[in-house]
Structure 1
Amino acid sequence: MSTQQKQIHLAAHFPGVNNTTVWSDPEAGSHIAFDSFARFARTAERARFDFLFLAEGLRLREQGGRIYDLDVVGRPDTFTVLAALAAVTDRIGLAGTINSTFNEPYEVARQFASLDHLSAGRAAWNVVTSWDAFTGENFRRGGFLEQGDRYTRAEQFLRTAQELFDSWRGDEVAADRSTGRFLTGPGAGAFRHEDEHFAIEGRFNVPRSPQGRPVVFQAGDSDDGREFAARSADAIFSRHAELAAGQAFYRDVKGRLARYGRAPEELLILPAATFVLGDTDDEAQDAAREVRRAQVSGQTAIKLLEQVWNRDLSAYDPEGPLPDVDPDPGEHTLARGRASVRMVRDPLAVAREYRELAAAEHLSIRDLVIRTSARQTFIGSPATVADAIDAYVQADASDGFILVPHVTPGGLDAFADTVVPLLQERGVFRTEYAGTTLRDHLGLPPRP
């Protein structure tokens, strides 16, 4: 076995209710009951995954003034779920998305430091921003920031939180961890920070946690987002799951690290990936087609097309041809809520492309939406999927994947039972955890 083989990083995303999830599948369970989260986390830990990831939804999506049909369950609070999962798992990392636009550094730092203590060093923070005034209506700080400003706030938010984490030094703490009593030096927890967004001063009341700081993830794909990740993140979530695009993204982001004095291995690149398994490749392809049609019902197809057309298309037959009217290129008001809205810069051009594709392949509205919306990343037998994942990582298109099953909570089981053992046999994925913290799992240097 070549010593040059990269080790693959795998994580699992609990997706909630969206157009990836087949919530109508008989095997699908609750997306809010704790038993679902616990089963999912235990499966990922049994498979020796690096971490479990929870996204964040701060407002239900709306379309045409109504709650979007795939989002009616909403999302429970990320910190609450991760803290509960810390009690029923031992090693798997616990990563959560927390918004830097609508929160405050002291509050978030305190929550993550607490989670890192409760989990014995398994906490991770996906730092995101939001421009969405619709979501911002839930908060005092509505959607008032331009893109450049929101990344400035995010960087200052993260820097402020890190100052709070670092306000406790090891030599200032003599701890009896069985009682939680701490004897501290005169400067322990003291902080003062002032910039254009924050002016805070006081003492941080959670002593330094096992990782020192939580692992920091970032998900932006813009140039600002990539630069933010190169400066500040330990891992970046990528949208590029195709080989050539993945390699280009990998080269670009890794190439930015040197200017900040960082080595390539200090930032992991992890695309989201879906999968459909079968006993044979043909069986998996048949199953994948069924999954896509279950993900995109006729009603969902109309809703997704409305996000491009910016018009009410409810009168159209989803099994019929595309609308004969053009999109409304005005300000997007039909669909509200960032997670549900495609960022379509030129809807008229997109409509032309869609019409040409539909005419060439004789596609209905539903067929077209299935054809053009998110596709499965890995389809095949366990051996085929293991081959594809390994080839992608060894080709420097990523450092691993965040897997998004289409059924929760049991959709990860088959992957854990069939694909993971094949990767372990190749020597590219761990058979046991080598350390106890998430930084250990990811091969990241410890924080001082």
Structure 2
Amino acid sequence: MSKPLKQIHLAAHFPGVNNTTVWSDPEAGSHIDFRSFRHFAQTAERAKFDFLFLAEGLRLREQGGKIYDLDVVGRPDTFTVLAALAAVTEHLGLTGTINSTFNEPYEVARQFAALDHLSGGRAAWNVVTSWDAFTGENFRRGGYLPREERYSRAKEFLATANELFDSWHGDEILADQTGGTFLRDAKAGSFVHTGRHFDIHGRFNVPRSPQGRPVVFQAGDSDEGREFAAADADAIFSRHATLEGGQAFYTDVKNRLAKYGRRPDELLVLPAATFVLGDTDAQAEELAREVRRRQVSGATALKHLEFVWNRDLSSYDPEGPLPDIDPDVGDHHIAEGRAQVRMYRDPLATAREWRELAAAHGWSIRDLVINTGNRQNFVGSPATVARTINRFVQADASDGFILVPHITPGGLDVFADRVVPLLQERGVFRTEYQGPTLRHQLGLAHPDEARGGRRVV
């Protein structure tokens, strides 16, 4: 008997702080004007996508002591944007990235419970940690937490927030997974939490929301991040772009669920993916090359090289050869607040590798960055892209994709109009929404059901 076709999950990422957007395109719009968010969200809903996703940066990124102004340098508050979008959409899930390192459980739980009520059960929370003291300078506590402390705090943060969400149910003393204890009293929503990171008590003032709790996303690719997701998340983002890499990640994460009493279908794996469409595969390939060169200007290429060299390279010609000097491996880094810095843990080895690649292919600095940086995941005609996406999902490389267009806000329109209908014809993507809440769209159980119980249908 053949294996039944998996249903594909699709979501849309409003790019935000990134190097993805092609700012020079005449159709590129504002990343702060609400009309951009509204257009993007309503396109995603028209295409029957599961949710819209917003990333968030807590500090403007800097390079060489100056604001990095080659991509987005600001973003309205996440909760404000999502609450506004709740009023102009009916079914689309609303996912926000909220940091667990510098926020407090009561405040975040209250905001998400309110959003879930306002949206009729469509709220989702991407739980992230902060890794640098640079970001911490914006907050009263300042500083930063070591990796093990960040995930310890994040785990207790989420557990504490869940205690607040659940405080309107039951009347008993319970122990959470982090070793803390809490009291919940349905009559008044009272709580007491005593743990390593939080010692709070009071009354939660938002009643049980339609989903009980927001859907929880996690984005870490480290072993700690994967374990956190297996224990507590409903979905995990992935950056693995190849079929083989996706399958390895998918298998690893799904295999971790059993130790927490969870089934494989209780955690969705959703990689981010870019796309370029053309009338033919050849046309799309040509357009993808043009898009990539427009994403990586000469100035952008030099700034990217500075992540590794940790030096001011503004005097170099981006169309010329790589620097013959070695990277500065000192403690201070020229780039502040950029996750890419962590990707190059051995800058001397990376520089040697890049010089070898440039010499072998005759690449300039700009050519190197174009060819070693992120590329479009799906390139081709609508039929080719639909077929490739379906192949990844059916081969268990993912459960779907979070699409990141290179034009904001209209870049999603062509996918909605030309690819989604082909997926629907294959019978692997919905033609109508499945129910009123985001949990319905994702096929996830309500938290009031016992773990391992039936899924929402």
Do the two structures share a fold, i.e. TM-score over 0.5? yes
Offset, 1:197? 0.8
State the distance in 2 between where 1:405 and 1:277 align: 11
Partner of 1:39: 39
State the distance in 2 between where 1:214 and 1:22 align: 33
Q: What does the per-residue CA deviation read over 1:135-174, in whole Å, with 9 as the maximum and x for residues that have no partner?
A: 1100012233100000000000000000000001289xxx
Q: What does the per-residue CA deviation read over 1:360-406, in whole Å, with 9 as the maximum and x for residues that have no partner?
A: 10000000000011111000000000010000000000000000000
State the distance in 1 between where 2:57 and 2:230 align: 26
Partner of 1:359: 359
Paired letter, 2:122: R
Partner of 2:321: 321
Change (3 A) 1:357 1:222: same
Partner of 2:301: 301
Residue 215 of structure 2 is aligned to residue 215 of structure 1: yes
Q: What does the per-residue CA deviation read over 1:257-299, in whole Å, with 9 as the maximum and x for residues that have no partner?
A: 0000000000000000000000000100010011001000000
Partner of 1:276: 276
Partner of 1:111: 111
Change (3 A) 1:24 1:340: farther
Residue 166 of structure 2 is aligned to residue 166 of structure 1: yes
Partner of 2:240: 240
State the distance in 2 between where 1:303 and 1:126 align: 29
Change (3 A) 1:420 1:332: farther
State the distance in 2 between where 1:71 and 1:407 align: 13
State the distance in 2 between where 1:406 and 1:138 align: 30
Residue 225 of structure 2 is aligned to residue 225 of structure 1: yes
Q: What does the per-residue CA deviation read over 1:320-374, in whole Å, with 9 as the maximum and x for residues that have no partner?
A: 0000101112224200013453431111110111011001100000000000111
Partner of 1:88: 88
State the distance in 1 between where 2:308 and 2:295 align: 18
Paired letter, 1:309: W
Paired letter, 1:312: D
Partner of 2:30: 30
Runs of 4+ in 1 over 6 A off after TM superposition: none
State the distance in 2 between where 1:420 and 1:308 align: 40
Secondary structure of residue in 2 paired with 1:97: strand
Partner of 1:182: none
Greater shift in the superposed pair: 283-292 or 332-341: 332-341
Is the CA contact 2:59–2:135 (under 8 Å) kept in the aligned structure 1? yes
State the distance in 2 between where 1:331 and 1:25 align: 38
Q: What does the per-residue CA deviation read over 1:172-196, in whole Å, with 9 as the maximum and x for residues that have no partner?
A: xxxxxxxxxxxxx873311000111
State the distance in 1 between where 2:367 and 2:53 align: 31
Is the CA contact 2:318–2:365 (under 8 Å) kept in the aligned structure 1? yes
Is the CA contact 2:168–2:186 (under 8 Å) kept in the aligned structure 1? no
Paired letter, 1:268: L
Q: What does the per-residue CA deviation read over 1:84-104, in whole Å, with 9 as the maximum and x for residues that have no partner?
A: 000000000000000000000
State the distance in 1 between where 2:371 and 2:71 align: 22
Is the CA contact 1:308–1:342 (under 8 Å) kept in the aligned structure 2? no
Paired letter, 2:93: G
Is the CA contact 1:301–1:365 (under 8 Å) kept in the aligned structure 2? yes
Paired letter, 1:149: E
State the distance in 1 between where 2:402 and 2:211 align: 22
State the distance in 2 between where 1:153 and 1:133 align: 16
Partner of 1:202: 202
Partner of 1:101: 101
Is the CA contact 2:101–2:154 (under 8 Å) kept in the aligned structure 1? yes
Paired letter, 2:20: T
Secondary structure of residue in 2 paired with 1:341: helix
State the distance in 2 between where 1:71 and 1:99 align: 22
State the distance in 2 between where 1:76 and 1:155 align: 27
Paired letter, 1:96: G
1:141-160 aligned at under 5 Å gives the runs: 141-160=141-160
State the distance in 2 between where 1:198 and 1:68 align: 35
| Structure-1-length-normalised TM-score | 0.95
State the distance in 2 between where 1:25 and 1:2 align: 46
Partner of 1:130: 130
State the distance in 1 between where 2:52 and 2:342 align: 26
State the distance in 1 between where 2:72 and 2:270 align: 29
Change (3 A) 1:247 1:55: same
| Structure-2-length-normalised TM-score | 0.93
Change (3 A) 1:209 1:323: same
State the distance in 2 between where 1:286 and 1:265 align: 38
Residue 6 of structure 2 is aligned to residue 6 of structure 1: yes
State the distance in 1 between where 2:113 and 2:34 align: 23
Secondary structure of residue in 2 paired with 1:156: helix
Partner of 2:177: none
State the distance in 2 between where 1:66 and 1:131 align: 20
State the distance in 2 between where 1:439 and 1:57 align: 27
Could you tell me which runs of 5 or more consecutive residues in structure 2 were left unpaired when the two chains were aligned: 172-184, 449-457
Offset, 1:71? 3.9
Secondary structure of residue in 1 paired with 2:269: strand
Is the CA contact 2:126–2:216 (under 8 Å) kept in the aligned structure 1? yes
Offset, 1:111? 0.1
State the distance in 1 between where 2:340 and 2:77 align: 19
Offset, 1:241? 1.6
Is the CA contact 1:62–1:335 (under 8 Å) kept in the aligned structure 2? yes
Paired letter, 1:97: T
State the distance in 2 between where 1:2 and 1:83 align: 44
Offset, 1:246? 0.5
Is the CA contact 1:6–1:393 (under 8 Å) kept in the aligned structure 2? yes
Is the CA contact 2:190–2:203 (under 8 Å) kept in the aligned structure 1? yes
1:343-422 aligned at under 5 Å gives the runs: 343-422=343-422
State the distance in 2 between where 1:445 and 1:372 align: 41
State the distance in 2 between where 1:328 and 1:119 align: 50
State the distance in 2 between where 1:418 and 1:219 align: 29
What is the root-mean-square deviation of aligned Cα atoms in Å? 1.6
Is the CA contact 1:8–1:393 (under 8 Å) kept in the aligned structure 2? yes
Q: What does the per-residue CA deviation read over 1:3-51, in whole Å, with 9 as the maximum and x for residues that have no partner?
A: 6100000000000242111112100010000000000000000000000
State the distance in 2 between where 1:126 and 1:400 align: 17
Secondary structure of residue in 1 paired with 2:343: coil
Residue 262 of structure 2 is aligned to residue 262 of structure 1: yes
Change (3 A) 1:441 1:2: farther
